[in-house]
Chain A
């Protein structure tokens, strides 16, 4: 049940990335993956690599996913920015000679 809550929180917060400039690795889909995977992995880590069952799932479980979402999004963003820079460099090198 906790896994469902983490993923759902990740998906919910991902919706708000639409307000940010699209510099994600693989765009909005990359942000989606970052948010959902980040939420799940972080939840798993702080739960000691086990998924809490129904009786161990509380409101706090949803909050536990938030740092994971932010971390996941940050990673995707940084990779995206880095790729953008590299891409710009490559294009600069291919400019026609004047």
Chain B
């Protein structure tokens, strides 16, 4: 494919994707996380029970299933239920206001009971009819009707389950739709907590159902494919008189009938269960036989044994009195057979397991965000995003002018693509996710900067703008790929290992990195190559390149000065170490067990007043801060205490409401287990990131390049930790995410420098390693500083305009990115230099140059045998058919100089055939009389001068 066609194809692809993105952005909704829309987030840890002594993955999956069932019955829109780690379940319930009630409803242990169906079922007049199949009654359509019927029944004080041990209230609005998710409350006032103002709406009704009367949802129909159908709005009312409970059965599983080979469900019983099962099935069989008409089939006359899980009918198998006249002996277990598919039998077995092998769910973290706080966080995040985009755009335009304008266009396209992807996948957008998106802007801009600096470099070397653009993309792409792969790997590791909040950040950062490759590299390349012949790109000034070549090159002895920068780093780290030792790191409640309540009050209060009110509730170690948060309210306080249980949080909130008037509040409670989980996952993520980064660097460069990278990363992370200790800032889960991001960004800079060192090593065959590094640094320092600065810009926007969470995150990033830029130049490169210079080849070069000059010049010069660092003379620029294939004037000069054609003629000392030059490599390195080194030619390895063939000046190749 020709270049023009390729560019056209890429541009059409970009335009097509823009159109598709616009359609997606308009047509789809954005899914907001809890922190942006308000709601309750609960993290449960599974604990073993007597029936389920170990937490297996299977048991955890069942817990997730039952939680999903319960959440569905709560009627929460778009809940999120996910397993986290080996034994945790995270439940996000958007728009739920009462965290305590949600926690109680979602995390209670599964309750399974078995009923003698006909004996307990109540008809319209609240009577049981055990002699008739299904009690001679029908399912009650509509929940309201079922509750009304149950309300008419007298209390029943037999052996009831905990569900109906007390009278309960069910709430309905004026259209008879259930409120409170259809769940009953023993306290009538609690029914209306989710209603506006917490008041009972006009026309709403609370219906009292007496104790011992149970309302059970009818069993779900099975779809033709065996999957369970929708939950029916059909109900039964019965006496809460269970014959067995879930504790009485063991080993429920799906099997196949040995004779018919049809799917069945089998179960065994405990010794108590065996007796009770035999008894209840005997009663069922006797009644069935007694009531059967002579011509009636047993299947039509048999009575039923109902299995109820969490007040929902799971299955109602009949007891065939003809086959089991004395009931079923539970000694060898029991089996449920019928018109099962394998899938439906598996589902029933799963439900039996949920009831028979329950695990206890312990609430280890609970956070609640009010809707207005969520909206505020969203506004702040968006504001930070817009400001970040604007300042990055301004920077690009200022420094790269026309190139910058194209990059800004690419950034806008990036933002559009990303927004569409967020909606399309869909990604639940959280605050950390917005941070990832904003950082992605920096990554996308960095990719452009790497290429644009390369283009400018080529222009300064005397290339035409067209050739420079082609060459810039060709040479810059490997750096970008390396840097983006590393960022992507870090994001991937974060996503796999980190906790939920950080996952959102990792997902958007990783996705942003991939999208930026398309927009910042492919799209801008196609645009620039299409425009390169136009007047727009003909002027060097339009590219932000001065007319004078080389004027921006740095001539600083980086390696010589490194010892002073090392000392500076050493001092900073020492201060940091003393700060951590003396002041310690202040860990937030993410790591320490505790509860934090943020409340906006009706009247102005002092810290002492609030503390006094909270302490009167019996809580000690209360820390109170007043916060300025106009969007939340005028009088905002933050109360931090030890870990409080949900009812205790409610007590504090009630006390605040009574004393000062509470407008709104949000709370976070973290148990000690959850803090440990976060810390462990962070440690794992850091170690895994370091391992993967090392492997990648070792593979792409060489293993010796990986060690300085690791030292520099350690330097950056520890300096960030030291700054946190010194300033007494709180270390939160966001800080950990930021630290991990620092790994990626610090590496971005280091890769830019190392990439150039790798490129220059073969181009400077006679130079000392420090000279190679100095030259590389001089060439890429602007680029490295520009990328760091460009990444810092959106981060600073986050720091200035983001909410509390984003500010925490941004602060760590600012310190880390600044430290990363510094360490890549002044730590990683000098360490590499010192280490590489121990290699025999560089020792030899070092000794040779030292012998020649008495010192190692900071930069290799022609007289020392290195590549020339002279300014290119202003000669007529040569052109070739393809500018990208051409050689610039300076490169040509370098080649000529390296090959020694235009240097002083060299007279090789006479040497017999096969005789090696005297002294050998070591002797010459130690100051011998090497002919080639003095003359500045040769490879620096002491092979001596060889007769050279005449060269073609145009190509530098032998004629």
Q: Mark B446-472, 1 if CB is under 8 A from A, else 0.
A: 000000000000000000000000000
Interface centre among A5, A19, A22, A58 (most CB of B within 10 A): A5
Binds A, one of B520-528, B610-618, B829-837: B829-837
Q: How far is the CA of A87 from the CA of B132 in the complex (A)?
A: 102
Cβ contact within 8 Å between B581 and A15: no
Binds A, one of B76-84, B561-569, B900-908: B561-569
Q: How far is the CB of B899 from chain A (nearest CB, A)?
A: 31
Give residues of chain A (1-58) contacting chain B, Cβ–Cβ below 8 Å.
1-2, 4-5, 7-9, 11-16, 18-19, 22, 26-29, 32, 54, 57-58
Q: How far is the CA of A59 from the CA of B573 in the complex (A)?
A: 14
Cβ contact within 8 Å between B566 and A18: yes
Q: How far is the CB of A88 from chain B (nearest CB, A)?
A: 11
Cβ contact within 8 Å between A12 and B573: yes
Q: Tell me if A96 counts as interface (CB < 8 A to partner B).
A: yes
| Known contacts A18-B563, A22-B838: A28-B580 contact under CB 8 Å | no
Q: Choose among A11, A27, A58 the residue that contacts B838 (Cβ–Cβ < 8 A).
A: A27
Cβ contact within 8 Å between A16 and B834: no
Cβ contact within 8 Å between B831 and A29: yes
Cβ contact within 8 Å between B584 and A13: no
Give residues of chain B (566-621) contacting chain A, Cβ–Cβ below 8 Å.
566-567, 569-574, 576-578, 580-582, 584-585
**Prevailing SS type, chain A contact patch:** helix
Closest to A6 in B: B577
Q: Tell me if A97 counts as interface (CB < 8 A to partner B).
A: no
Q: Mark B904-935, 1 if CB is under 8 A from A, else 0.
A: 00000000000000001010000000000000
Residues of A within 8 A of B580 (CB): 1, 4-5, 8, 57, 62
Cβ contact within 8 Å between A1 and B835: no
Residues of B within 8 A of A58 (CB): 581-582
Cβ contact within 8 Å between B573 and A22: no
Residues of A within 8 A of B834 (CB): 18, 22, 27-28
Binds A, one of B248-256, B355-363, B715-723: B715-723
Cβ contact within 8 Å between A54 and B570: no
Q: How far is the CA of A54 from the CA of B582 in the complex (A)?
A: 10
Cβ contact within 8 Å between B707 and A29: yes
Closest to A22 in B: B834
Q: Tell me if B714 counts as interface (CB < 8 A to partner A).
A: yes
Cβ contact within 8 Å between B581 and A57: yes
| Known contacts A27-B835, A27-B838: A11-B714 contact under CB 8 Å | yes
Cβ contact within 8 Å between B569 and A15: yes
Q: Choose among A11, A22, A96 the residue that contacts B715 (Cβ–Cβ < 8 A).
A: A11
Q: How far is the CB of A42 from chain B (nearest CB, A)?
A: 15
Q: Tell me if B698 counts as interface (CB < 8 A to partner A).
A: no
Q: Tell me if B293 counts as interface (CB < 8 A to partner A).
A: no
Q: How far is the CA of A57 from the CA of B578 in the complex (A)?
A: 10
Q: How far is the CA of A13 from the CA of B567 in the complex (A)?
A: 9
Residues of A within 8 A of B721 (CB): 4, 8
Chain B residues at the A interface, C-beta cutoff of 8 Å: 562-563, 566-567, 569-574, 576-578, 580-582, 584-585, 707-708, 711, 714-715, 718, 721-722, 830-831, 834-835, 837-838, 920, 922
| Interchain residue pairs with CB less than 8 A apart (14) | A4-B721, A5-B577, A8-B576, A8-B580, A15-B570, A16-B567, A18-B563, A22-B834, A26-B835, A29-B708, A57-B584, A60-B581, A62-B578, A62-B582
Extra pairs beyond A28-B834, A32-B711, A58-B581 (15, CB < 8 Å): A1-B580, A1-B584, A1-B585, A8-B576, A9-B577, A12-B569, A12-B570, A15-B567, A16-B570, A18-B566, A18-B830, A54-B585, A57-B580, A60-B581, A62-B574
